[in-house]
Structure 1
């Protein structure tokens, strides 16, 4: 029911996934008057789907607290998240209100042990392929311990999605020198160096231009700067696409040049299509939730659904929990040794 286009786009996206992933099954939550007429036109999708009517749909402009208060237990968003909690579904995908989805997910699923606040991880196209960037909007401000937890979760995600044995991790900062940046970031860097985790290779600080270069497999930051970076990158991609269209239509020779180089421009358009990497993963919860961009088209929503599919297949939830449990179990022992040494 969410997103800018509602069931017309979300169901069309599911139809794409049903064709490409024949083993996938769908539980669709929504208002029957809006969903069923569209679903009836997609017989193949209907065959592999179960529909559940919900009286309430969370509005895109609703405040998280308002959505949680009025939409709990009866909205389509809550029911979809609850399906993950009960085991009816392996993952929840929504294009709805981000704040409401995060608030409901945290309330319903709860966070993993020792995780104070969850993060949204984005899959970011780079010159080397793809990287994980988190947090891109869930948590505004973060202390050193939370940044370390984000690093562990991001490395687990990169390992699961990209099949990298020991992902490289960097902390986003205003410079690569150890003396630069906020105290929380510098402290997180020190903690990661001392932890020397087997599941990642900490590379130190990275800057904003390193994200697109793909300097590291995982870029860690707090939600305020991460969200600005994400929206800036999306806007820049659209800006460059607009410049190219304008340039290609500026004269007869330009249009002729476009026709001669159409294959190259098509590949460029494909790489710059933000829908291809659509889907933010809510990391740190006791279950898999993926947030699709509200403005995504059918292919974009399908990409978010397929991201959820890959997360389930890769066992990312179990791998993340195991790594976090191992790290936090080692912390008290390290502290105890330090205290004894100091005494």
Structure 2
């Protein structure tokens, strides 16, 4: 069994230790083999550690930092000036091999920049991509990437995202031959921008990839594809829109009459699998080690799910699986 040590940025997200510490405590209670490295401000973190009895926990290492990356910080500033931030130090522990995965709810741009600088990409990978699961109408899940790590992408990057998504679907979703599709504004071959059309032509040339063509936005949850590829701008908008609709449905009936509340009860029971908290944790794949990005607005149950996702990636050896996927890609496929 692989060593299970996860480094946590305890200061990331909108709520910091009030969310991350309870989630860490619950993860430790659920997983007896799990070890955690906690990084954060002594002033902010210590009271919560005492409250949840983690200060002297045998499977916890606490590392106090003097800085914090906030949502207002630019990625370049975080790289140059916030070298003792909780985010940076958690990634440094990952790069040194002291942990096998890292979880942070902090600034996405800073996390991407710091991970590139500290952890580095796998050989052959130009840029990491954020990937997450989407529930499907017939049961199971599909994968969507990129979710915002790369706002603008060329065809080569989209092809690489397809290869990485294929590897994740095979080893995390246990799909023997994942159906890979490009998210587009239409199903016709002439639709989409140049990058999408060029990527489609290149993906058709990869015999080891089950490329099925284009899907549109209304197919995200229909089960038409197992891996859905797009640039980070499109992916982020699609994901946030989907989450907003899910929360609208699941929140129906608040501060309304009896019949609305009865409807809300029925909706929550039938659509509980759409709760975005269950899918919290977007993996920054293409790096040499696992980095999981939690939603900044996540509560403790959602942050716990991000920790559990990081553990699952360790158990599946996900970075090594993706590296192998690139080793076996044809050299003349434009995938590199």
Alignment TM-score, normalising by the size of structure 2: 0.91
Q: Distance in 2 between matches of 1:245 and 1:253?
A: 8
Identify unmatched segments of 5+ residues in structure 2: 1-10
- Could you tell me how far 1:121 is from its partner in structure 2? 0.7
CA contact (8 A) 2:250 2:267 kept: no
Deviations 1:109-152 (A, max 9, x none): 11122222211112222213211100010111211111110001
Measured at CA, do residues 265 and 179 of structure 1 come closer, stay the same or move farther in structure 2, by a change above 3 Å? closer
| Structure 1 residues 1-343: aligned runs within 5 Å | 1-43=11-53, 46-72=57-83, 74-127=84-137, 128-197=139-208, 200-242=209-251, 244-245=252-253, 249-250=256-257, 252-255=258-261, 257-258=262-263, 262=265, 264-268=266-270, 270-327=272-329, 329=331, 331=333
Displacement after TM superposition at 1:64 (Å)? 0.8
**Greater helix proportion:** 1
**Secondary structure of the structure 1 residue equivalent to 2:121:** coil
Distance 1:35 1:183, change over 3 A: same
Cα displacement string for residues 179-199 of structure 1 (whole angstroms, at most 9, x for unaligned residues)? 2111211111111111112xx
Q: How many aligned residue pairs are there?
A: 323
8 Å Cα contact 1:119-1:136 kept in structure 2: yes
For the 8 Å contact 1:120–1:137, the answer to whether it is kept is yes
Preserved CA contact (<8 Å) 2:143 2:165: yes
**CA root-mean-square deviation:** 2.0
Q: Given the superposition, is the C-alpha separation of residues 15 and 208 from structure 1 closer, same or farther in structure 2, using an over 3 Å criterion?
A: same
Q: Tell me: CA distance 1:281–1:253, structure 2 relative to 1, closer, same or farther (3 Å).
A: closer
Counterpart CA distance in 2 for 1:104 and 1:254 is: 47
Distance in 1 (alpha carbons) for counterparts of 2:87 and 2:277: 22
1:254 deviation in Å? 5.0
Unaligned 5+ segments in structure 1 are 335-343
CA distance, structure 2, for counterparts of residue 328 and residue 287 of structure 1? 24
What residue in structure 1 maps to residue 6 of structure 2?
none
Q: Deviations over 1:279-319 (max 9, x none)?
A: 11111111110000010000000001111110110111111
Alpha-carbon distance, 1:76 to partner:
1.2
Q: Between Structure 1 and Structure 2, whose CA radius of gyration is higher?
A: 1
In structure 1, C-alpha distance between the alignment counterparts of 2:125 and 2:312, rounded to whole Å = 23
What TM-score comes out, normalization by structure 1 length? 0.89
